[in-house]
Amino acid sequence: MTATLVRRATVDDAPAIAHVHLQSWRETYGPVLPADVLAGLDLDARTARWQAILDEGRSTIHVAVAGGEVVGFASAGDRPDEGGPAPRELEGLYVLARHHGTGEAARLLAEAVGHGPAYLWVWRNNARAIAFYAKHGFVPDGAEDTHTVSGHPIPAIRMVRT
């Protein structure tokens, strides 16, 4: 595997982030979402959304680049006034399946939220992700929610690191 660079994302990264986002969903959410929903995810719409997110600057976004290709990303934001259990929320962390176990996700996590208090939401049945976050000090705090994608519910749990 090629050495990976983790850096702040720019608006020029929006298409690559959108690709990783959708591919990661296809690799991860097959047990939850119907195949036609996953196949129908719109890359152009997701790219436009990531361009808007990067333009807004409300979130901090980092990318992992290996061999000139974006292979993962993390997005996080400060939430001091929104009543969350910690001041920083990990909004998303995705790494292509072929890069699982390389340490790229850990590096992205560290860049996104540091080593201090933070929280995140994770699909309740995503044992791999839950174990990864637990390894990095996050524990479920009992909060649950349901995120809906194309009309399909994805039950989620909140994990917190204090």
Per domain, the residue ranges of the chain are: 4-161
How many CB atoms are closer than 10 A to CB 87? 16
Q: Return the pLDDT at 2.
A: 59
Has residue 1 got a pLDDT over 60? no
Q: What is the pLDDT averaged over residues 128-137? A: 97
**At 150, is the pLDDT very low, low, confident or very high (cuts 50, 70, 90)?**
confident
- Output the pTM of the full model: 0.93
- pLDDT value for 79: 78
Q: What is residue 158's predicted lDDT score, i.e. its pLDDT?
A: 97
Question: Strand 139-149 vs strand 118-123: parallel, antiparallel, or unpaired?
Answer: unpaired
Instruction: Indicate the average pLDDT of the chain.
Output: 93
Q: Are 123 and 92 in contact (CB under 8 A)?
A: no
CA 35 to chain centre: 21
Residue 82 reports pLDDT greater than 80:
no
Using CA atoms, how far apart are residues 143 and 161, in angstroms rounded to an integer?
14
Other CB atoms within 10 Å distance of the CB of residue 4: 20
Average pLDDT over residues 12-21: 98
Name the architecture of domain 4-161.
Answer: 3-Layer(aba) Sandwich (3.40)
Split at pLDDT 50, 70, 90, the class of 84 is confident
Q: In angstroms, how far apart are the furthest CA atoms of the chain?
A: 41
pLDDT band of residue 59 (cuts 50, 70, 90) is very high
Residue 4: pLDDT band by 50, 70, 90 thresholds?
confident
